[in-house]
C-alpha cells in the first residue's frame, strides 16, 4: 500500500483516517496515518493502547517502580509550581471513582508499610512546623455533614481506633495520682509546659479549653513513679498514645530522664 497516497489529498475525504486501520486493542478507534509511518510502518495500536486490558505482573510493576525511584525520576528535585498544582487539583476535582477503584485503593493503602523512622519524622514535622494548624489545615473553614461524621465515628470506634488499648481507658488510676500534691510536683518539675512541643499550661487552656495532661510513659495507670509521668498537651498526648508510636516515645522519654539524671 502506498503511504504517500494515504497521506495525500485522497485521504482528506476520510479525515486523514484509513477505515481499515483500527486499533488492535478493540477500542474501535482508527489509526491516523502520519509521515513517520513511511520509515517505521503503520502501527497496529494507537499510542498508549498497547497494554490496555492486560494486567501487569508484580515483577514488571516492581521494575517500573525501581526505574523511577529517587534521582532516576525525571521530576526528582523539581518542585511543582503553584499553577501546576492548581491545574492538577482542578483536573481531579469532582472526578467520580467507581466502587471497584475505591476498593483497590483501600487495599493498597492497607498493605502499605510505613517505617517507624518515617512516622517519627512526620510527627516531628507536624510538631515543629504546626503544618496542620489553622489556615494550613486542608479542612479549615469546612464542616462535615452529619452522614460523614457518622461514618468517621463508626470507622474509628473500639479496636478500629489507632489509640485502642484493649479498653484500658476504663481502668482506675493509682491512689497517688489522685493527690493534688503529686500533680503539682509534676507540673513544677516540667515547668508547666508540654515536654514535646513546649506549650504552656496557660496557652493550652486558652487554645484547647483544658490544661496539660500528665502522661504515663509506660501507659500503666497504676505506675505513678515520678519518672513515669510527664506533662503533655492534648495534641501531643494523642500522638504519643498512638499504638504505632508508643515504643518509640517510651524509649525517647526514658532516655531523656537518663540524660537529666546523668547531668545531675
- In tens, the pLDDT along 179-208 reads 889 999 999 988 999 988 888 888 888 888
Confidence of residue 17 (pLDDT cuts 50, 70, 90): very low
Full DSSP string of 49-90: -TTTT-PPPHHHHHHHHHHTSGGGSTTTT-PPPHHHHHHHHH
Domain ranges of the chain: 3-40, 170-263
pLDDT at 129: 62
Give the model confidence (pLDDT) of 144-181 as tens digits. Answer: 888 988 888 888 887 777 666 666 666 778 888 888 89
Per-residue confidence (pLDDT) for residue 12, from 0 to 100: 42
Q: What is the mean pLDDT of the chain?
A: 77
The residues pairing with 214 across neighbouring beta strands, listed in sequence order, are: 231
Q: Judge whether 231 and 203 are in contact, CB under 8 Å.
A: no
Would the pLDDT of 7 be above 60? no
Dihedral angle sign, alpha carbons of residues 11, 14, 19, 24: positive
Q: What pLDDT is stored for residue 264 in this prediction?
A: 47
Q: In terms of pLDDT, which residue wins out, 247 or 112?
A: 247
pLDDT for the residue 131: 57
Q: Bigger pLDDT: 168 or 116?
A: 116
Largest alpha-carbon pair distance within the chain?
A: 98
What is the rounded average pLDDT of the residues 234-250?
A: 83
Model confidence band, residue 15 (pLDDT cutoffs 50, 70, 90): very low
> How far apart (Å, rounded) are the C-alpha atoms in residues 160 and 199?
30
Amino acid at each position: 500500500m502506498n503511504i504517500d497516497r494515504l497521506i495525500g489529498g485522497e485521504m482528506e475525504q476520510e479525515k486523514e483516517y484509513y477505515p481499515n486501520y483500527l486499533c488492535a486493542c478493540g477500542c474501535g478507534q482508527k489509526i491516523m496515518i502520519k509521515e513517520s509511518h513511511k520509515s517505521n510502518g503503520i502501527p497496529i495500536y494507537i499510542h498508549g493502547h498497547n497494554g490496555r486490558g492486560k494486567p501487569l505482573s508484580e515483577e514488571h510493576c516492581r521494575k517500573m517502580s525501581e526505574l523511577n525511584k529517587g534521582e532516576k525520576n525525571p521530576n526528582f528535585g523539581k518542585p511543582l509550581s503553584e499553577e501546576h498544582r492548581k491545574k492538577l487539583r482542578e483536573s481531579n476535582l469532582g472526578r467520580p471513582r467507581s466502587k471497584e477503584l475505591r476498593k483497590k485503593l483501600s487495599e493498597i493503602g492497607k498493605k502499605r508499610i510505613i517505617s517507624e523512622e518515617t512516622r517519627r519524622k512526620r510527627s516531628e514535622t507536624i510538631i515543629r512546623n504546626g503544618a496542620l494548624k489553622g489556615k494550613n489545615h486542608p479542612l479549615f473553614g469546612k464542616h462535615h455533614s452529619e452522614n460523614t461524621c457518622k461514618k468517621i465515628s463508626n470507622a474509628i470506634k473500639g479496636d478500629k481506633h489507632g489509640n485502642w488499648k484493649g479498653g484500658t481507658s476504663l481502668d482506675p488510676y493509682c491512689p497517688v495520682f489522685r493527690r493534688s500534691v503529686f500533680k503539682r510536683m509534676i507540673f513544677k518539675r516540667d515547668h508547666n509546659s508540654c515536654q514535646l512541643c513546649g506549650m504552656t499550661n496557660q496557652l493550652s487552656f486558652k487554645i484547647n479549653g483544658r490544661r496539660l495532661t500528665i502522661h504515663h510513659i509506660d501507659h500503666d495507670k497504676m505506675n505513678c513513679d515520678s519518672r513515669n509521668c510527664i506533662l503533655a498537651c492534648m495534641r501531643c498526648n494523642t500522638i504519643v498514645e498512638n499504638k504505632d508510636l508508643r515504643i518509640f516515645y517510651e524509649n525517647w522519654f526514658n532516655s531523656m530522664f537518663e540524660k537529666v539524671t546523668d547531668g545531675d
